[in-house]
Amino acid sequence: MDSSQAPTIAAARRVWPRDISVAMKHVTVLGAGIAGLVTAWYLAAEGLEVTVIERAPEAAAETSHANGGHLSTQSGVPWIGPQAIRELLTTGLRRERVVRVLHAPDPGRWHWFAAALLAARPAAYRLAAERTSRLSHYSRPLTEALMDTLALNVGLENQGVLALYRSRSAFRRACRKPPAASLLLNRNETLEREPALAAATAPLAGACFYPADATADCHAFCEQLSQRAAAAGVRFLYDCEAQRVELSAGRVVAVTTSRGRIACADCVVALGAEAAPFLSRHALHVPILPLRGYSLSAPIVSGAPAPGRFVDIERHVVFSRLAGVFRAAGMADFAGHQRNLPPDRTRHLHAIAGEWYPPVKSGQPKFWACLRAMTPDGPPVLGASGIPGLWLNIGLGPLGWTQGAGSARLVADLVLGRKPDLDMQGYGIARFRR
């Protein structure tokens, strides 16, 4: 980027700093994934001095690296609900099932499952789904405003997303109770919306079209946002592991890292799947469990149009088309903090992707595994931690790209001492402390 194009913080500033004391405050943000980066940007845009601490050598090295790319504004729902429990029970004995519970030393695992079962009761689930939807809708214009004001080149495709049905019986069931503001399409209508699906070998009975959903590259967004933020004065400490926060008189005064002590007035924890073990060092127990997922990225072969912006609803795999890359992502293993790639999972994902985009079958796609930070009820954990000066932007689970900008805006407003635009009921840590 040449210097004439370099955006200033003021370019994306919502308001100028109102209070000069705000401009003197130093905030550390732990983690340079989507949650940490956008929080850092919003805080710096309001005049705060911000340092981002990231253990990897670059931004978006973990869960924000190669996710499905879906901005599931309309279709995104909490994963653990009555339907998921039914599916887990009925597919439990199938070898290649979507969700697997593998043996792993996960402290708090059984408490988490018990809380998830309670959250899956119909009334509780409806409430969590409403909160999820509210945050996703709040987030979307913020995400697009960042793309626009900072000229982020992230391959946004915002003409809606297709949820594809393979079997007639599943499609018939969907037709009986179509989701609000969606459109049911038969096979031909589906192919009109996404002609590249004509080459698919997977059976296609029809689709449910979500006009408000979109796809874009989360990694490209994070990478470019980190560059814009660094150019605008945010300090990035890479290869730097946050070890603990230091308190004085019960308040945050510094963060201890592998590269020394960093004094700060406030600290935002945005450590993704590592947030729960980090916080437990300070006797803060947050029910967040890592849920491993997988993705496949294959180059788009010239001459063979690749389909994009769709979901294989019966296999729970999402697909997107991102700057020369065909991406498939899905599956869920409760396997502790291990990020390995079991061959049966990559084989399975490869086979499904090849059914929708046949050139993938003969290629050597890149596989990737990472951990979703799951709360038992679905929404993330945002805001005050209970320790003065320590803030949380964690537990974004399967919807962190969709909700990252909104979550960051809410947390930044709280750090700034402002009333957030959204009612925070149901997004804080307090909901787990009853």
Ligand X SMILES: Cc1cc2nc3c(=O)[nH]c(=O)nc-3n(C[C@H](O)[C@H](O)[C@H](O)COP(=O)(O)OP(=O)(O)OC[C@H]3O[C@@H](n4cnc5c(N)ncnc54)[C@H](O)[C@@H]3O)c2cc1C
What span, in angstroms and rounded, lies between the C-alpha atoms of 291 and 397?
8
Sequence-separated (6 or more) residues with CB below 8 Å from residue 376:
80, 112, 113, 115, 116, 118, 119, 287, 289
CA-nearest of 230, 208, 229, 211 to 140 is 211
Q: Nearest approach, Cβ of 373 to ligand X (angstroms)?
A: 6
Asked if 294 is part of the footprint of ligand X (rule: CB under 6 A), the reply reads: yes
Asked if 70 is part of the footprint of ligand X (rule: CB under 6 A), the reply reads: yes
What span, in angstroms and rounded, lies between the C-alpha atoms of 171 and 356?
18
Asked if 322 is part of the footprint of ligand X (rule: CB under 6 A), the reply reads: no
Question: Which range, of 117-125, 198-206, 267-275, 309-317, touches ligand X by CB under 6 A?
Answer: 267-275
- CB-nearer residue toward ligand X: 318 or 390: 318
Asked if 372 is part of the footprint of ligand X (rule: CB under 6 A), the reply reads: yes
Q: Using the 8-state DSSP alphabet, how is residue 327 labeled?
A: E
Q: Identify the residue among 306, 313, 329, 374 touching ligand X (CB under 6 A).
A: 329
Asked if 402 is part of the footprint of ligand X (rule: CB under 6 A), the reply reads: yes
Q: Nearest approach, Cβ of 408 to ligand X (angstroms)?
A: 9
Asked if 428 is part of the footprint of ligand X (rule: CB under 6 A), the reply reads: no
- CB-nearer residue toward ligand X: 54 or 413: 54
Asked if 406 is part of the footprint of ligand X (rule: CB under 6 A), the reply reads: no
Q: Identify the residue among 81, 376, 398, 426 touching ligand X (CB under 6 A).
A: 398
Q: Identify the residue among 293, 354, 379, 389 touching ligand X (CB under 6 A).
A: 293
Asked if 56 is part of the footprint of ligand X (rule: CB under 6 A), the reply reads: yes
Question: Sign of the C-alpha dihedral, residues 50, 381, 335, 87?
Answer: negative
- CB-nearer residue toward ligand X: 36 or 307: 36
Q: Identify the residue among 28, 51, 64, 139 touching ligand X (CB under 6 A).
A: 64
Q: Nearest approach, Cβ of 48 to ligand X (angstroms)?
A: 19
Among positions 227-266, residues that touch ligand X (CB under 6 A) are: 241-242
CA-nearest of 273, 302, 262 to 61 is 273
Binding footprint of ligand X, residue count (CB under 6 A): 41
Tokens found for residue 220: 């490209």
Q: Identify the residue among 41, 48, 50, 62 touching ligand X (CB under 6 A).
A: 62
Q: Answer for the pair 401, 146: CB distance below 8 angstroms, yes or no.
A: no
Summary count for the chain: helices (H), strands (E): 12, 20
- CB-nearer residue toward ligand X: 73 or 182: 73
Q: Identify the residue among 245, 317, 370, 408 touching ligand X (CB under 6 A).
A: 370
Asked if 31 is part of the footprint of ligand X (rule: CB under 6 A), the reply reads: yes
Sequence-separated (6 or more) residues with CB below 8 Å from residue 271:
30, 31, 36, 242, 278, 394
What span, in angstroms and rounded, lies between the C-alpha atoms of 21 and 70?
39
Positions of E strands within 287-337:
289-299, 310-312, 317-322, 325-334
Tokens found for residue 138: 């709040």
What span, in angstroms and rounded, lies between the C-alpha atoms of 311 and 316?
7
Three state DSSP letters for 109-158? HHHHHHHHHHHCCHHHHHHHHHHHHHHHHHHHHHHHHHHHHCCCCCCCEC
Q: Nearest approach, Cβ of 37 to ligand X (angstroms)?
A: 7
Q: Identify the residue among 12, 27, 29, 34 touching ligand X (CB under 6 A).
A: 34
Asked if 399 is part of the footprint of ligand X (rule: CB under 6 A), the reply reads: yes
Tokens found for residue 399: 């919807």
Asked if 409 is part of the footprint of ligand X (rule: CB under 6 A), the reply reads: no
Tokens found for residue 207: 């689709």
Asked if 206 is part of the footprint of ligand X (rule: CB under 6 A), the reply reads: no
Asked if 53 is part of the footprint of ligand X (rule: CB under 6 A), the reply reads: yes
Asked if 67 is part of the footprint of ligand X (rule: CB under 6 A), the reply reads: yes
What span, in angstroms and rounded, lies between the C-alpha atoms of 58 and 153?
18
Tokens found for residue 294: 């997988």
Asked if 69 is part of the footprint of ligand X (rule: CB under 6 A), the reply reads: yes
Asked if 383 is part of the footprint of ligand X (rule: CB under 6 A), the reply reads: no
Q: Identify the residue among 274, 312, 333, 413 touching ligand X (CB under 6 A).
A: 274
Residues that bind ligand X (CB under 6 A): 30-36, 53-56, 61-64, 67-70, 72, 241-242, 270-272, 274, 278, 293-295, 318, 329, 370, 372, 396-402
